[in-house]
Structure 1
Amino acid sequence: MGVVAKRSSMTFYSNGEDHYSHRVRIVLAEKGVAVDILDINPANKPEELAELNPYNSLPTLVDRELVLYASNIMMEYLDERFPHPPLLPVYPVARAESRLWVYRIDNEWSPLVDTIMAGEDAKAIDAARKRLKEDFTAIAPIFAEKPYFMSDEFSLTDCCMAAILWRLPRLGIELPEKSTRYLQEYMGRLFERDSFRESLSETEREMR
Structure 2
Amino acid sequence: MVVAVNKRSVMTLFCDTTDIYGHQIRFVLAEKGVTAEVEFVTANNLPQELLDLNPYGSIPTLIDRDLTLYEPHIALEYLDERFPHPPLMPVYPIVRANSRLTMYRIKKEWYSAYETILADPDSNEAKEARKNLLDDLVSISVMFKEKDYFMSDDFTLCDCYFAPLLWRLPMIGIELPKIAEKNYLSYMARIFERPAFISSLTEDERKIRA
Q: Displacement of 1:119 after TM fit? A: 2.3
Letter matched to residue 118 of structure 2 = M
Could you say which residue in structure 1 is the equivalent of 2:149? Answer: 148
| Cα deviation code 1:34-92 (max 9, x no counterpart) | 10001112221112211110000000000011100000000000000000110001111
Distance in 2 (alpha carbons) for counterparts of 1:185 and 1:194: 16
Q: Tell me if structure 1 keeps the 8 A contact 2:121–2:172.
A: no
Question: Partners of 2:25 and 2:19 in 1: how far apart?
Answer: 10
Q: Matched residues in 2 for 1:186 and 1:97: separation?
A: 21
Asked if 1 retains the 8 angstrom alpha-carbon contact of 2:89 and 2:157, the reply is yes
CA distance in 1 between counterparts of 2:9 and 2:168 reads: 29
How far, CA to CA, are the matches of 2:183 and 2:152 in structure 1? 14
Structure 1 residue 120: Cα displacement: 6.3
Unmatched 5+ residue regions in structure 1?
1-6
Listed one character per residue, the Cα deviations across residues 5-35 of structure 1 (whole Å, up to 9, x for unaligned) are xx96100001111111111110000001010
1:8 and 1:34 in contact (8 A); partners too: no
Structure 1 pair 8–191 and aligned structure 2 pair: CA distance change class (3 A): farther
The change in CA–CA distance for 1:125 and 1:28 in structure 2 (over 3 A counts) is: same
- The 8 Å contact of residues 8 and 35 in structure 1, kept in 2 or not, is answered as no
Distance 1:182 1:106 in 2: 22
- Match of residue 115 from structure 2: 114
- Alpha-carbon distance in structure 2 between the residues aligned to 1:37 and 1:59: 10
**Which residue of structure 2 aligns with residue 98 of structure 1?**
99
Is the 2:9–2:65 Cα contact (8 Å) retained in structure 1?
no
Deviation at 1:165, TM superposition (A): 0.4
In 1, Cα distance between equivalents of 2:22 and 2:101:
20
Task: Indicate the residue corresponding to 1:47 in structure 2.
Answer: 48
| Alignment partner, residue 32 of structure 2 | 31
> 2: distance between equivalents of 1:102 and 1:139?
15
Counterpart for residue 197 of structure 2: 196
Question: Contact between 1:21 and 1:58, CA under 8 Å: does it hold in 2?
Answer: yes
Name the CA distance, whole Å, in 1 between partners of 2:145 and 2:70: 35
Aligned pairs, how many?
202
After superposition, the CA RMSD in angstroms is: 1.4
Structure 1: distance between partners of 2:178 and 2:59: 34
1:62·1:68 contact (CA, 8 Å) conserved in 2? yes
Runs of 4+ in 1 over 2 A off after TM superposition: none
Aligned partner of 1:130 in structure 2 is 131
**C-alpha separation in 2, matches of 1:190 and 1:39:** 24
1:104-139 deviation line (CA, Å, top 9, x unaligned): 101110001111122266111111111111110110
Give secondary structure in 2 for the equivalent of 1:207. helix
Residue 14 of structure 2 corresponds to which residue in structure 1?
13
Give the TM-score, by structure 1 length: 0.93
Identity percentage over the alignment?
A: 52
Q: Structure 2: how far apart are the matches of 1:121 and 1:56?
A: 29
SS at match of 2:25: helix
CA distance in 1, matches of 2:126, 2:117: 5
Say yes or no: does 1:169 pair with 2:170. yes
